[in-house]
Structure 1
Amino acid sequence: MGNDAFLQLRGLESHYGKTQVLKDIDLTIRKGEFVALLGSSGCGKTTLLRIIAGFLSPSAGQVSVGGRDITRHQPDKRGMALVFQSYALWPHMTVGQNIGYGLKLRGIRRDEIARRVSDLAVMLGLTGLEGRKPANLSGGQRQRVALGRALAIDPEILLLDEPLSNLDARIRLSVRHELRALQKRLGITAVHVTHDREEAMVMADRIVILDGGRIAQQGAPEEVYNRPVSSFVAAFMGAENLVHLNGVRDGDDFVLQPGAAGEGGRVQVAGRGLASGAVEARFRPEAVRLTDIDRPATEPGGRFFGEVMAVSYPGGQWRHVIKVGDREIMADAERAFTPGQPVAVFVPAAALFLFNSPCGDPVSRTGLSPETAKNQA
């Protein structure tokens, strides 16, 4: 085990009947690190968290903490606390009784429980609410009580199973920052399951993206956001626009070939294993520069041609649906373009993520040429 390793998962696998949910999971988490397990429903992130917590046993592999194998240990013997999505508060107990429940089970003296509950109430902004019951609390307050109950037993590792998903959007924004600040102040190791990309980005030191029971990519938030290693990761991190292109590897550059989708271009490979042939180009709506069809590009990147299908205003910028060949993409702009108008969709090189197409087949037609677009206008 490395010097900075604290929580280690080695070769973890899990099955439900004949269905394999987790496949060869290897993950090392440092002491005091906040790690977010991110993925869509069914990717295995909650199963992985429950294996760490001890509520599920892996089909294969090992869980260790501080070099100690805890794979077969009961949940209460692991030095961990889990905050559930539903909070799981006792409705007949007060705030103070809920927070101190774990301490009572451990036989801690009443005066020590009262002191610890009081300290946590101050820390979590619950002072004066100790005598209330959960039914008389807001969603944000209930979340704090559940967190207080978890922290009361002084766990080495805090496990969070989408604890903010039941909060409304406004409260969720403030609570996520409060939770992150508290975790940093206490120096506690945290593993947080979420399907919310923004939540993972603002809270975690490291994001682990799961896909089909495997780790698709892990790294600092800015790394997985700006340097996705696969088309799946790029899409999950917001680059949902997809255009199929052809290109040729030229040293450290990848040269996009002119064709129906656009006028070609040159993009740095930047360490990616791109090979000549068909590629998938992914990019985010906010990265697009939408212009009139006759306006040329002035910097490296990809330039595609299409037709405006719909326009809406979600706030800040205008959101456009652009038909590029037989596909539709999203593009943001400071002004609204007219439905039916031919446009150029420019994506700067740094925001254009290229991946070799799985099938490797050349692309025959993925967009409108400027001349065709003009003729159809």
Structure 2
Amino acid sequence: MSEDAYLGLQGIDAGYSRTKVLESIDLSIGKGEFVALLGASGCGKTTLLRTIAGFAFPSAGRIHVGGRDVTRLPPDKRGMAMVFQSYALWPHMTAARNIGYGLRLKGWRREAIAARVAEMEALLGLEGLGGRKPSELSGGQRQRVALGRALAVDPDILLLDEPLSNLDARIRLTVRHEIRALQQRLGITTIHVTHDREEAMVMADRIVILDKGRIAQLGTPQDIYTRPASAFVAAFMGAENVIHLDASCSGHRVDIAAGPLNRAASLLLDRPAPPSGKIEARFRSERLQLRPLDEKRPDDANAVDLIGRIEAVVYPGGEWRHTVRIGEGSVLVDGPEALPPGSDVLVRVPTSGLFLFAAPACAPAGTPPSAADERSPVRERLIA
């Protein structure tokens, strides 16, 4: 744990009954920092948040807040407040009474509660809505009431358990920017659980990616997006296109052998190369070049050329999205123009958008084309 950490987790193991959900979690969060816990369903992110909050106790490890050990303290003694995914508002209470609920439990006087509730309503844009019950509010307004209830008690740490998942896409875009702006204005330490990659990217100072109860990577949004530490992280951050190749690697240099799926290439990376042998190449659908296979190849050694055939083309907006079959698999490639299905094409992947890792032991050194594939004269000539 870092010495300047405001919230520190050391060696946290946690689970339910005999099922271990979290294993060896070490995490340091600075005061005023916004950290997103990101991962697929079942990775342990909500369990980690509940363990921090005190709704679940770890089977091993320690939790410190401001130098104070809170590992075995109940939730109300930790100086934290939580906004739940369902908001958990009392349906029979007005918005104002919901916001002031925690203050009443603390024994505040009625006048002080009213003043604090009015402050929260002004802060969150809820003026004039205090007399309404949750059923009379929109989803975004209910989310603000839940946030107001959490902030009213002036917590040291704010915990958010997927609070935007129940909102429609348009409102979610607005509310997540509002929460981030509010967090920065108040300077409150915040931990936000989400499975939405873009949500984590635009809201958090740092992102913790969890995989099967362990931290797969921790870093700034830019670091994780541009320098994923593993094939899992690369895939989770959008590099879902994958192909296996043969390569000879030394230092930052990667020499890729020609094969039925690709041309030979020599690359110079801005990071250490993986071990020689079978490598797993991952890349996103954007920032690629897609051209007919028989078109003259430009001189550019800083890219990998893959050989494929277009299976389908759709228009999701902005650019055309092509499904390109490469061997027995397929990749998605975005481009400004639609190329017809059945076309033999060259997919050019620039080194800046290519993520290389040692391939799993069971992975082939390159998936050969299906025996059912037709071999066009152009393809035969260019891969020879």
Deviations 1:68-91 (A, max 9, x none): 110000000000000000000001
Runs of 4+ in 1 over 2 A off after TM superposition: 1-4, 15-19, 266-273, 364-368, 371-377
Partner of 2:351: 349
Partner of 1:199: 199
Deviations 1:12-69 (A, max 9, x none): 0113233221110000000000000000000000000000000001111111101111
CA separation of 1:105/1:364 partners in 2, compared to 1, >3 Å: closer, same or farther?
closer
Structure 1 SS opposite 2:260:
coil
Partner of 2:360: 358
Distance 2:162 2:82 in 1: 11
Write the letter of the residue equivalent to 1:340.
Answer: G
Is the 8 Å Cα contact of residues 278 and 360 (structure 1) preserved in structure 2?
A: no
Distance 2:143 2:363 in 1: 51
Q: Where does structure 2 lack aligned partners over 5 or more consecutive residues?
A: none
Write the letter of the residue equivalent to 1:330.
Answer: L
- Answer with 355-364 or 13-22: which moved more: 355-364
Distance 2:159 2:366 in 1: 49
Alignment size in residue pairs: 375
Structure 2 SS opposite 1:286:
coil
Structure 2 SS opposite 1:340:
coil
1:141 is aligned to 2:132: no
Structure 2 SS opposite 1:141:
helix
Shift of 1:3: 4.2
Partner of 2:311: 309
- Answer with 73-82 or 280-289: which moved more: 280-289
Partner of 1:340: 342
Structure 2 SS opposite 1:200:
helix
Is the 8 Å Cα contact of residues 277 and 362 (structure 1) preserved in structure 2?
A: no
Write the letter of the residue equivalent to 2:112.
Answer: E
Is the 8 Å Cα contact of residues 99 and 117 (structure 1) preserved in structure 2?
A: yes
Partner of 2:299: 298
Structure 1 SS opposite 2:166:
coil
- Answer with 79-88 or 15-24: which moved more: 15-24
Distance 1:125 1:326 in 2: 54
Structure 1 SS opposite 2:286:
helix
Write the letter of the residue equivalent to 1:324.
Answer: I
Distance 1:292 1:364 in 2: 22
1:319 is aligned to 2:321: yes
Structure 2 SS opposite 1:72:
coil
Distance 1:250 1:372 in 2: 35
Structure 2 SS opposite 1:201:
helix
Distance 2:79 2:31 in 1: 13
C-alpha root-mean-square deviation of aligned residues, in Å?
A: 1.7
Shift of 1:320: 0.8
Distance 2:259 2:110 in 1: 76
CA separation of 1:291/1:309 partners in 2, compared to 1, >3 Å: closer, same or farther?
same
Distance 1:364 1:96 in 2: 62
Taking structure 2 as the reference length, the TM-score comes to 0.94
Deviations 1:98-136 (A, max 9, x none): 000000110011111111111110110000101111000
Pairing of 1:257-296 with structure 2 (within 5 A): 257-272=257-272, 274-295=274-295, 296=297
Pairing of 1:113-124 with structure 2 (within 5 A): 113-124=113-124
Pairing of 1:53-68 with structure 2 (within 5 A): 53-68=53-68
CA separation of 1:366/1:16 partners in 2, compared to 1, >3 Å: closer, same or farther?
farther
Write the letter of the residue equivalent to 1:294.
Answer: D
Pairing of 1:161-310 with structure 2 (within 5 A): 161-272=161-272, 274-295=274-295, 296-299=297-300, 300-310=302-312
Is the 8 Å Cα contact of residues 79 and 157 (structure 1) preserved in structure 2?
A: yes
Matched residues, percent identical?
58
Distance 1:109 1:302 in 2: 69
Shift of 1:273: 5.1
Write the letter of the residue equivalent to 2:41.
Answer: S
Deviations 1:354-377 (A, max 9, x none): 001121766154459xx9454579
Distance 1:19 1:113 in 2: 43
Structure 1 SS opposite 2:112:
helix
Distance 2:48 2:368 in 1: 40
Distance 1:357 1:320 in 2: 26
Partner of 1:329: 331
CA separation of 1:320/1:65 partners in 2, compared to 1, >3 Å: closer, same or farther?
same
Partner of 1:102: 102
Q: Where does structure 1 lack aligned partners over 5 or more consecutive residues?
A: none
Distance 2:122 2:87 in 1: 20
Distance 1:197 1:374 in 2: 43
Structure 2 SS opposite 1:258:
coil
Is the 8 Å Cα contact of residues 208 and 217 (structure 2) preserved in structure 1?
A: yes
Distance 1:268 1:274 in 2: 12
